[in-house]
Amino acid sequence: MRPGRFVEAPAGARRIVRIQVYRYDPDSEQPPRLDTYELDRERCGPMVLDALITIKNDVDATLSFRRSCREGICGSCAMNIGGRNTLACIKNLDELGAEVSVYPLPHRPVIKDLVTDLSQFYAQYAAIQPWL
């Protein structure tokens, strides 16, 4: 994976977390890359999803990812974090250390950045007609 942008933490940051995010835009015709963002943990919420929202709101508005309930119920923020498939809304940054890697779910086609194509999953889900 080729390295991408590096965004340094704001001046005066004391608790820094470095987040490497998989970036891919099929419209750009560029290969995927890993962008690295340093965040001040004092200005960011405790979960990985909070860090991604901080990046999108304050650093790079082009970052794409899914989110919805923020309570670990819907599964829309599922991604590969630190080498494990999990939900970004319930994964605490403190569990991951000073460096965190965030990739889209494996074995799914990537639409853009951390957004994967879930149409096959939804078709299979509809086919079994689950009782909820």
- Tell me: the pLDDT tens digits for 108-130? 899 999 999 988 878 887 888 76
Q: pLDDT band at residue 132, thresholds of 50, 70 and 90?
A: low
Q: pLDDT band at residue 1, thresholds of 50, 70 and 90?
A: confident
Confidence at residue 87, expressed as pLDDT on a 0 to 100 scale: 95
The boundaries of the domain holding residue 114 are 2-128
Residues with Cβ within 8 Å of residue 79, at least 6 apart in sequence? 65, 85, 86, 88, 102, 103, 104, 105, 114
Q: What is the pTM (predicted TM-score) of this model?
A: 0.89
Residue 105 has pLDDT above 90, yes or no: yes
CATH number of the domain that 64 lies in? 3.10.20.30
Count of domains forming the chain = 1
